[in-house]
Structure formats: structure tokens, C-alpha cells
């Protein structure tokens, strides 16, 4: 007996420690499981929640984690019949080591219920490992909403009695609405090669946008599909980058929500290429001195410089005589950036002229100058004041009998190199005439 007592004394600390460990574990265990005391067998909907699209098949399992050996179960489940409908029930794997007696129950879709699902081990045997009681196939309808999946009348037995259980219900969310895409825009819609274009779109969803892609067709018809899901500010998704290939690009946005509902925006375009107009500068007008309507003596020369970031295509001179319509004439390309129009006939008719210069680059961008005026007096209006009168005669008379190069001054009206009475006669022929208008 003494020896027995000693053994008990020696064991006492271990007994105390083990007892403490058991109590401690029980306390911890009871806090880690929600929904019931630690000795409950857990019956749960798995997955606890899921997101599906409209008309989509999905499955739900009724999962069991026994706290003691079990050998039978029964259960019902209810759901929102406006959102989903049950298709079939099949036996789970929890008793797969045994022959079973299983009843898949009865589906009442209008009431949103499946009743009389049960299963048990045929003959002796029990199970302590977790597994599924049943697997239920559902199909979603076309309405958005969340259906609870509620376990009802759940019973689990061992060999002798129903055991205490705790249940975790679940839910399924039906997302029947596709994301919406708006404000699709590329800025600028026309950009220089290698310049930045920011393509953006507002994408929203009733639940959650899962992915947004930018699809681009290049001018050579090559295609690029870029995820822009991560490039967002608020609900605006964007892609700001450069493009080198010149030409027209088309693009659209594609978006998908978490339930695989997708949507495609309309197709828009932007342009990469030369968008900078040419520049006309240094417009200069020179003419024969003196002015002369005779093309053997008179001439005009209009020059300008035209530059472009890419390439100048053509430079035009537009001329209107006496307020009439404009006629276009092509400038000649000179050295470097210079262009000129040189003519002895362009202004050989007396009158008032207006002209301006217009330049195109190869991308059809245009620059135009302001309008310039030029007056070409007839040879008989010596002082170019618009009218032939005695003062013009006096000017010729002042130089009577002087000799020079042909047409060296306006007083040599007939350009024969000598101031003569004949020159006076030509002026007097037009005496009192005005050419100004």
C-alpha cells in the first residue's frame, strides 16, 4: 500500500498538469469555434458565400465536421426561389467508406425548399472524419439579389441518439447586371507621333468591376489587348502612353464583373501623325523700279520661307484683282526653306490687287498669311496717284529730251529711252482718266 501511495504522489504533479492542459485547450477551443459549444458537431453550407451570374449553374455542399463518431443525418434547406432554383441533390462523401442508405429528398422550387434529404450507414460503422452530407446543384435566375441558403431541421445521430449540432448557413449572390462603360475618350484625339494619348473610360458595376481591358487596333491592323484594371482613379480607368505609328487608331473598352458578366464599349478612334501646321514667315515683295505694266520692263517677285515639323507639301499664292475672286498660283521651291513667285505678267494689268499666301504640309495642315495689298498704276499715271492730269504732264515735261536706258524712269512712258513729246501725248491721251477702282 505504501508503494501504491508513493506512486500516486509521484504521479500527482503530472495529473495536475494534464488536467490543466485539458481545461486550457477546452477554453481555447470553445473560443475558436463560433456558433456553439466546443462539443457540437458542425454542419455548414460550403462555400459560405459565392457570386454567380444570371442563368449560371453552381453547386453548394453541406459540410459536416463531427465532434464524435456519427452514422446518420437528415436535413432540409431553404432558398430564395425568385433568385435561384435547385436542380439536383447528390450524396456527399462523408460515408463513402461504407454502404449507405441515401435519400436525395424532394425539391420544391416554387416554395424554395428541399426537404427529406437524409443518409445513414448501412449496418455497423461510424465516421469521425469531416466530409460532405450532400451536394446540391442550383441554377441562378436572371434577377440580381442575394439568396440565403438556410439549413433547417438538421439532425445528426450516432448509434444511440441525436447529437448536438451547430450550423453555419450560407448565401449566394446573383449578379444579373453587366458593368456599364461610359465617357470613353482619347485625349488628345489627334497627337504627334511619340506624343502621349490618354484613353479613359468610366466603368461601374452594381456589385464589383473585376477587370477592364483596352483593345487597340493600330493603323496597320495589328491588335493589342491591355489590362487597365489597375490604372484607375475612382471609377475612371485609363491608359496614358505614346504611339509612334502614324495613322488612325481604333479602340474599345471591355469590362467584366465578378460574376463574369461582360460588356464592350462602342469603338472610338484617335489619330497619330503630323498635327502641327507649317509656318510661313519673311514674306517679301519686290518689283521692278520703276513699276511698269509692260512685261518687257516690269516684274514682281514674292518670296517667303515655309517650314514644317515634318514636310511642306505646297505653297500657294492667292491673288485677287480689283476686288474680284482669288486665283491660286503655285510657288516655286527655292533653296532651303524659301519659296518664290517671280512674274512679269502677274501684275501687268493696271489696278489694285490683294494677295495672301497659303501653305500645306503633307498631312494637310495649313498656314495662311494675312492679306497684302498692291497697286499697279498704268504707265501714263506718272506720279501713281490714280489719275492722269496736268501734273503728270508737267513731270514728263520737266525731263524733256533726257536720255537713258529704255524705261529707266516712269517719265519715259513708251520705254524708248528718251523723254519726248510722244510721251506727253500718251499721257494726254488719258487725261482726266482714273484707274483706281
Binding site for Ca ion (CB under 5 A): 175, 177, 205-207, 257, 274, 276, 308-310, 361, 365, 381, 383, 385, 392, 412, 414, 416, 423
Q: How far is the CB of 277 from Ca ion (least distance, A)?
A: 6
Nearer to Ca ion, 80 or 205 (CB): 205
Q: How far is CA 81 from CA 86, 106, 115, 151, 184, in A?
A: 9, 15, 14, 15, 38
Q: Which helix (H) or strand (E) holds 23?
A: helix 2-32
Q: How far is the CB of 432 from Ca ion (least distance, A)?
A: 11
Q: Where do we find the cell 455548414?
A: 44
Q: How far is the CB of 415 from Ca ion (least distance, A)?
A: 7
Distance CA 407, CA 411 (A): 8
Q: How far is the CB of 431 from Ca ion (least distance, A)?
A: 10
> What's the order of all strands across the beta sheet hosting 300-307?
279-287, 300-307, 338-343, 332-333
Helices (H) and strands (E) in the chain, counts: 3, 30
The answer to whether residues 189 and 271 touch, using CB atoms and an 8 Å cutoff, is yes
Q: How far is the CB of 408 from Ca ion (least distance, A)?
A: 10
Q: How far is the CB of 238 from Ca ion (least distance, A)?
A: 21
Nearer to Ca ion, 307 or 343 (CB): 307
Long-range CB pairs of 178-183 (<8 Å, 24+ gap) are 178/205, 178/257, 178/261, 178/262, 178/263, 179/203, 179/204, 179/205, 179/209, 179/255, 179/256, 179/257, 179/261, 179/262, 179/263, 180/204, 180/205, 180/263, 181/253, 181/255, 181/263, 181/264, 181/265, 183/236
The answer to whether residues 45 and 94 touch, using CB atoms and an 8 Å cutoff, is no
Nearer to Ca ion, 74 or 392 (CB): 392
Q: How far is the CB of 169 from Ca ion (least distance, A)?
A: 24
Nearer to Ca ion, 337 or 414 (CB): 414
Return the C-alpha cell found at 396. Answer: 514728263
Nearer to Ca ion, 167 or 178 (CB): 178
Q: How far is CA 206 from CA 55, 182, 201, 209, in A?
A: 17, 14, 17, 8
Q: How far is the CB of 307 from Ca ion (least distance, A)?
A: 9
Q: How far is the CB of 144 from Ca ion (least distance, A)?
A: 7
Name the β-bridge partners of 250.
Answer: 217, 269
Nearer to Ca ion, 74 or 274 (CB): 274
List the Cα angle 332/344/326 in 5-degree steps.
65
Nearer to Ca ion, 97 or 208 (CB): 208
Nearer to Ca ion, 39 or 402 (CB): 402
Nearer to Ca ion, 276 or 375 (CB): 276
Q: What is the DSSP string of 160-224?
A: SSB--EEEE-EEEEE-----EEEEEEEESSEE-TT-EEEEEEEEE-SS-EEEEEEEEE-TTS-EE
The answer to whether residues 137 and 149 touch, using CB atoms and an 8 Å cutoff, is no
Q: How far is the CB of 423 from Ca ion (least distance, A)?
A: 4
Nearer to Ca ion, 113 or 256 (CB): 256
Residues 6 or more apart in contact with residue 389 via CB below 8 angstroms: 431, 432
Nearer to Ca ion, 158 or 206 (CB): 206
Q: How far is the CB of 18 from Ca ion (least distance, A)?
A: 56
Amino acid at each position: 500500500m505504501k508503494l501504491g501511495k508513493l506512486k500516486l504522489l509521484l504521479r500527482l504533479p503530472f495529473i495536475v498538469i494534464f488536467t490543466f492542459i485539458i481545461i486550457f485547450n477546452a477554453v481555447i477551443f470553445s473560443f475558436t469555434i463560433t456558433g456553439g459549444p466546443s462539443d457540437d458537431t458542425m454542419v455548414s453550407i460550403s462555400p459560405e458565400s459565392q457570386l454567380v451570374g444570371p442563368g449560371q449553374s453552381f453547386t453548394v455542399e453541406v459540410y459536416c465536421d463531427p465532434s464524435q463518431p456519427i452514422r446518420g443525418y437528415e436535413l432540409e434547406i431553404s432558398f430564395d426561389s425568385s433568385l435561384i432554383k435547385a436542380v439536383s441533390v447528390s450524396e456527399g462523401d462523408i460515408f463513402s467508406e461504407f454502404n449507405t442508405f441515401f435519400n436525395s429528398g424532394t425539391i420544391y422550387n416554387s416554395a424554395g425548399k428541399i426537404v427529406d434529404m437524409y443518409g445513414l450507414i448501412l449496418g455497423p460503422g461510424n465516421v469521425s472524419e469531416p466530409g460532405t452530407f450532400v451536394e446540391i446543384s442550383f441554377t441562378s435566375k436572371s434577377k440580381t439579389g442575394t439568396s440565403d441558403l438556410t439549413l433547417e431541421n438538421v439532425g445528426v445521430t450516432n448509434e444511440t441518439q441525436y447529437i448536438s449540432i451547430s450550423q453555419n448557413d450560407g448565401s449566394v449572390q446573383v449578379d444579373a447586371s453587366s458593368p456599364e462603360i461610359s465617357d470613353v475618350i482619347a485625349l488628345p484625339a489627334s497627337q504627334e507621333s511619340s506624343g502621349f494619348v490618354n484613353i479613359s473610360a468610366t466603368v461601374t458595376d452594381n456589385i464589383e468591376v473585376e477587370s477592364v481591358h483596352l483593345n487597340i487596333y493600330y493603323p496597320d491592323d495589328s491588335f493589342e489587348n491591355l489590362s487597365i484594371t489597375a490604372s484607375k482613379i475612382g471609377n475612371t480607368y485609363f491608359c496614358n502612353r505614346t504611339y509612334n505609328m502614324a495613322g488612325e487608331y481604333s479602340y474599345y473598352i471591355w469590362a467584366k464583373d465578378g460574376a463574369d458578366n461582360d460588356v464592350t464599349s462602342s469603338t472610338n478612334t484617335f489619330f497619330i501623325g503630323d498635327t502641327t501646321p507649317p509656318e510661313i514667315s519673311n514674306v517679301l515683295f519686290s518689283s521692278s523700279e520703276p513699276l511698269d505694266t509692260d512685261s518687257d520692263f516690269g516684274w514682281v517677285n514674292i518670296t517667303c520661307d515655309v517650314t514644317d515639323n515634318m514636310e511642306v507639301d505646297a505653297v500657294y499664292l492667292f491673288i485677287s484683282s480689283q476686288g474680284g475672286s482669288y486665283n491660286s498660283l503655285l510657288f516655286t521651291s527655292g533653296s532651303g526653306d524659301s519659296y518664290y513667285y517671280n512674274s512679269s505678267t502677274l501684275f501687268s494689268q493696271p489696278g489694285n490687287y490683294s494677295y495672301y499666301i497659303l501653305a500645306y504640309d503633307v498631312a494637310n495642315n495649313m498656314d495662311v498669311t494675312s492679306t497684302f495689298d498692291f497697286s499697279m498704276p498704268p504707265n501714263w499715271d506718272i506720279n501713281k496717284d490714280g489719275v492722269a492730269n496736268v501734273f503728270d504732264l508737267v513731270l514728263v515735261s520737266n525731263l524733256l529730251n533726257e536720255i537713258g536706258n529704255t524705261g529707266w524712269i516712269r517719265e519715259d512712258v513708251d520705254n524708248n529711252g528718251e523723254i519726248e513729246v510722244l510721251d506727253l501725248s500718251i499721257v494726254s491721251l488719258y487725261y482726266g482718266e482714273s484707274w483706281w477702282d
